[in-house]
């Protein structure tokens, strides 16, 4: 149980740290807010760091109380599932791989919270860690895609890369 709680402490710390850095990226380049497709994708990416952070925090604060951490993961998983399904209907952002997988990952978070006992030698909180870890890794992949995809050229003076003439 201590290893699982250590995992969730680390997951929470890293999730909120990356969420803060993601906010900095969004704040430095106004194109994330100006293009509706990119804005929607940035909100979706934000949730993929926020939810694991909050769910991990819930598991740490639960002190191992199964009802408490399960409640956090069911609610967080359902919020993520609703968002992932809604995001399937949003305008395409060039991602054809992660989009259809994300509702399944959030469904796994909810399902893992409902597992009553050990599965393949793992206690329920460890099973949940695998599912939540997939959400976090999906967020990393989405972040990488967002930062590497070809961007709309910046308007002169706004969001232009440093070192280039405006």
Q: pLDDT tens digits for 9-59?
A: 999 999 999 999 999 988 888 888 888 888 888 889 999 999 999 999 999
Confidence (pLDDT) at 13: 96
Mean pLDDT of all residues in 92-111 = 88
Label residue 150 by pLDDT band (50, 70, 90): low
Which residue intervals of 29-65 are DSSP H helices?
31-34, 36-62
- Only one residue has tokens 């925090």, namely 57
pLDDT at position 161, please?
A: 54
24: Cα separation from own chain's centroid = 16
pLDDT score recorded for residue 157? 52
3-class secondary-structure state, position 122: strand
What count of other Cβ atoms lies within 10 Å of the Cβ of residue 162? 4
Angle at 69 between CA 64 and CA 74, to 5 degrees: 155
CA angle 148, 154, 156 (to 5 degrees): 155
- Tokens 């704040």 belong to 27
**Model confidence at 4, in pLDDT bands (50, 70, 90)?**
confident
pLDDT for position 151:
54
Average pLDDT over residues 145-164: 58
Q: Return the bridge partners of 122, or none.
A: 119
């Amino acid at each position: 149980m201590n290893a699982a709680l250590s995992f969730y402490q680390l997951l929470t710390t890293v999730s909120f740290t990356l969420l803060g850095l993601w906010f900095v990226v969004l704040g430095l380049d106004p194109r994330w807010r100006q293009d509706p497709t990119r804005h929607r994708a940035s909100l979706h990416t934000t949730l993929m760091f926020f939810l694991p952070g909050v769910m991990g925090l819930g598991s740490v604060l639960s002190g191992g109380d199964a009802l408490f951490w399960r409640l956090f993961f069911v609610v967080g998983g359902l919020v993520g599932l609703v968002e992932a399904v809604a995001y399937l209907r949003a305008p395409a952002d060039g991602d054809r791989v992660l989009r259809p997988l994300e509702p399944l990952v959030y469904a796994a978070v909810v399902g893992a919270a409902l597992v009553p006992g050990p599965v393949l030698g793992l206690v329920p909180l460890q099973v949940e860690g695998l599912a939540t870890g997939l959400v976090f890794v999906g967020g990393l992949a989405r972040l990488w895609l967002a930062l590497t995809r070809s961007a709309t050229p910046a308007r002169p003076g706004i969001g232009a890369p440093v070192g280039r003439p405006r």
